[in-house]
Amino acid sequence: MRLKHAVLPFTFLLIAACSGEEQSEIANIAPGDVAIRLPEAFAATAATREANERFGANLPIDEQCDFEDARRGFIAAIEDGVINDADGRVVWDQARYHFLDGDAPATVNPSLWRQAKLNSIHGLFEVTDRVYQLRGYDLSVMTAIRGETGWILIDPMLTKETAAAALALLQRELGPRPVTAVLFTHSHGDHFGGVRGVISDDEVAAGAVRIIAPEGFSESAISENVLAGNAMARRAGFQFGNDLPAGPAGQVDSGIGKALSSGVVGFMRPTETVNETGARLVIDGVEFVFINAPDTEAPAEFMFYLPQFRALHTAELATGTMHNVLTLRGAKVRDALAWSKRLDEALAMFGDKSDVVLASHNWPTWGADNVRTYLEHQRDAYRFVHDQTMRLANAGYTMHEIADMIGEPQFMAEDFSTRGYYGTVNHNAKATYQRYFGWWDGNPANLNPHPPEEQAKRFVELAGGADAMIANASAAYEKGDYRWVATLMNHLVFAEPKNKTARAFLAGAYEQLGFQSESSIWRNYYLAAAMELRDGVKKDDAVNIANRDFVQAIPSADYFDALAVRVNPEKAKRDHVVNFSFDDTQEIFGIRIENGIAVQKQASHYDDATIVVHLKRADLDEITLGDATFQGKLARGAIKVDGNPLEFVQFLQTHDQFDLWFDVVSP
């Protein structure tokens, strides 16, 4: 699959001036009382400049230890940091971040600017004897361990091209050796998607390469994107700023790395799995001791310790930032308490036995004392979010109140590895609340409100019309109260989508909020939203979220579950009972659509089916990938129908076709 962008599956955002301003001071300004001046695009306001200066003044921004660690052990780099695919198309470009020099501009939070500079350091690095990392060539980091006969690779990046280029750099600098094993630490695509750039199916089939992953890896890797993939992919574009230009007023970082690469994403099933803490494996002569960590940062994940090298690899449970308890792209809420406990387990088992801790993002930390402190602070960051959210919730505070009240412990103000460059205390507290209490805050007024467009029309009427709302927004914008501007103008845009002034103010507010964000993904989301408000949704037909390896790996039963969420009750006015027989896999399924609901019968047919569809599972894969259609396969005879073929077409027509480019920031 070729993608323009590979799509997958903080503390606080500092808001200038708003904490001292009461909304009542600007609530009753008449349109004629305010000179409306539209926000200037791509420039920081005085309020944002002052907010970022204050933010930086409260942190040891000039501290150099992280820069020393990020450069430690440097061996060589890919020239200019540019990687091309076989057709010469650029799939990775570190050169576009050359602007990251000197002090932070007013358009970037100084703490995020510092992280962005650190993540721009790229190349092949020696971590310790026989352990190396390739950093800065994808969102994730690939670790290489020299075994007795070849290379053991950990987390081969997101795409085939970046993983292959990283391996080529390793082989060039340290000598050609075969890849003898690949470990996937967890089930997120940026840790296994580049596997086909480092090994082949033939090597695995011949037993020349072991693929080792945590138990449940394949199911988790596939399922996360099957049912929710379209919406998740759309939101991921905002989270990573896929369409934002790199620059001081655009995309600068992703917190755990620079960005997503844009090559070919692959998938291979593991040849063996690890299912318990304390499990030991000898891989190409190197002993690994595992800490199983399911349902933490990913549904299937492990960390591991290398006794021979006194090195602890924490996968993505402990990286150089606070992570997401709930990622902005959307996912199932993670368990902050379990996350903290698994890190405590790693600390107890290996904290006094490790001279270095490394991960699948960012850079390592060296020194026994530093390792312990790093693990303690990472552990405590997630425990703080969990415990303080629950303390405040049990005192009666709601999700949004907690997010504004929770604060941060002192160590987070001093330890950059816990800063909110990716996840934030703010949205992680909301996620923790959601995990325990769900979407509702308990206030009956919020139990069944009008949907956004209907609510927006009523707010506009209540405010005295669009002009009055714009006058209020203009006054709030001048005061630096961008959160309130965003609230006001979001209502107006949803009531009047073509109101250019409302869109301009909403885009301006989002932009200033982005410029002030310490979190890269908050920044990316805000700036991408501003861009869409100004320029509209730029639909790119070249982007395709279907992936051949994933599609072929989806169990047929899961495929029919995914098909079921496309059934539109308005189109399913009549019932359908259809049996499917896959000639190549010998699988059979029955699908009944009744009352607008599809019910699947596995491993058997419905006796009252009116048609039976004979096809190959491979045909279904081609259709899913967009390489063919049901109608085309029918016409060519690749699909055969016992019964009336027109009825099968009517069955298909009850299913919606999802549009990746649905509106997000406007109705």
The model's pTM: 0.93
CATH number at residue 594: 3.30.1050.10
Query: What pLDDT was estimated at residue 153?
Result: 99
Residue 327: closest CA among 389, 256, 386, 268 = 256
Say which residue the tokens 């009549």 belong to: 574
User: What was the pLDDT predicted at 12?
Assistant: 23
When pLDDT is averaged across residues 315-341 and rounded to a whole number, the result is 97
Q: Are residues 360 and 220 in the same domain?
A: yes
289: in domain: yes
Q: How confident is the model at residue 13 (pLDDT cuts 50, 70, 90)?
A: very low
Mean pLDDT of 356-380: 98
- One domain, residues 426 and 566: no
SS3 (DSSP) at 598: strand
Average pLDDT, the chain: 93
Q: Which residue has the tokens 């107006």?
A: 492
Percent of the chain with pLDDT over 90: 91
> In which residue are the tokens 């969990």 written?
386
Q: What amino acid occupies position 444?
A: P
Residue 274 inside a domain? The answer is yes
As a whole number, mean pLDDT of residues 277-288 equals: 98
Does 559 share its domain with 424? Answer: no
| Per-residue confidence (pLDDT) for residue 224, from 0 to 100 | 80
How far is it, in rounded angstroms, from Cα 94 to Cα 117? 11
> Given this model, what pLDDT does residue 542 score?
61
Does any domain span residue 373?
yes
Is residue 576 in a domain? Answer: yes
Q: Which of 161, 167, 199 is nearest to 180 (CA)?
A: 199
**Domain boundary, last residue among 435, 470, 495:** 435
How is residue 235 written in tokens?
A: 């939101």
Question: What are the b/e assignments for 390-412, b being 16+ CB within 10 Å?
Answer: bebbeeebbbebbbeebebbeeb
Evaluate whether residue 321 is within a structural domain: yes
pLDDT recorded at residue 34 = 53
Q: Which residue has the tokens 């230009």?
A: 245
3-state secondary structure of 282: strand
What mean pLDDT is predicted for residues 221-243? Answer: 92
Is residue 648, in this structure, part of any structural domain at all?
A: yes
- One-letter amino acid for residue 107 of the chain: T
Q: Looking at residues 433-457, what average pLDDT do you find?
A: 97
Instruction: Choose the final residue of a domain: 435, 454, 481.
Output: 435
Q: In terms of domains, do 289 and 430 share one? A: yes
| pLDDT tens column, 384-440 | 999 999 999 999 999 999 999 999 999 999 999 999 999 999 999 999 999 999 999
- Residue 268 in this model has a pLDDT that exceeds 90: yes
Position 536 scores a pLDDT of 96
Same structural domain, 567 and 422 = no
For the chain, how long is the longest CA-to-CA vector? 79
Predicted confidence at residue 626, as pLDDT, reads 87
At residue 25 the predicted structure's pLDDT band, cuts being 50, 70 and 90, is very low
Same domain for 562 and 430 = no
User: Is 548 a domain residue?
Assistant: no
529-556 confidence digits (pLDDT tens): 999 999 999 988 666 667 889 899 999 9
pLDDT (0 to 100) of residue 547: 81
Out of 435, 464, 483, a domain closes at: 435
How many structural domains are present in the chain? 2
Q: What pLDDT does 544 receive?
A: 63
Position 89 scores a pLDDT of 96
Report the range of poorest mean pLDDT among 3-17, 153-167, 241-255, 589-603. 3-17
Question: Residue 14: pLDDT above 60?
Answer: no
Residue 411: CATH number of its domain: 3.60.15.30
Token pair recorded at residue 554:
């989806």
**pLDDT level of residue 48 (50, 70, 90 thresholds):** very high
In a domain, 499, yes or no: no
Per 3-state DSSP, the chain is made up of helix, strand and coil in percentages (nearest 5) of 40, 15, 40
Rounded average pLDDT over 169-184: 98
Task: Give residue 26's pLDDT band: very low, low, confident or very high (50, 70, 90).
Answer: very low
**Cβ atoms within 10 Å, residue 330:** 16
- Other Cβ atoms within 10 Å of 129 Cβ, number: 10
Q: Enter the tokens of residue 29.
A: 């300004």
Domain that holds residue 115: 47-435
Closest CA to 357 of 417, 416, 299, 415: 417
What pLDDT is attached to residue 2?
A: 30
pLDDT at 234: 96
Specify the pairing of strand 210-214 against strand 151-154: unpaired
Q: How far apart are CA 449 and CA 28, in angstroms?
A: 25
Element holding 587 (H helix, E strand): none
Mapping DSSP onto H, E and C, the string for 524-586 reads HHHHHHHHHHHHCCCCCCCCCCCCHHHHHHCCHHHHHHHHHCCECCCCCCCCEEEEEEECCCC
Q: Name the pLDDT band for 140 (thresholds 50, 70, 90).
A: very high
First to last CA, the chain: 31
Q: What is the distance between the alpha carbons of residues 352 and 359, in angstroms, rounded to a whole number? A: 18
pLDDT on residue 18: 30
Cβ 230 vs Cβ 93: under 8 Å:
no
For 594, the 3-state DSSP assignment is strand
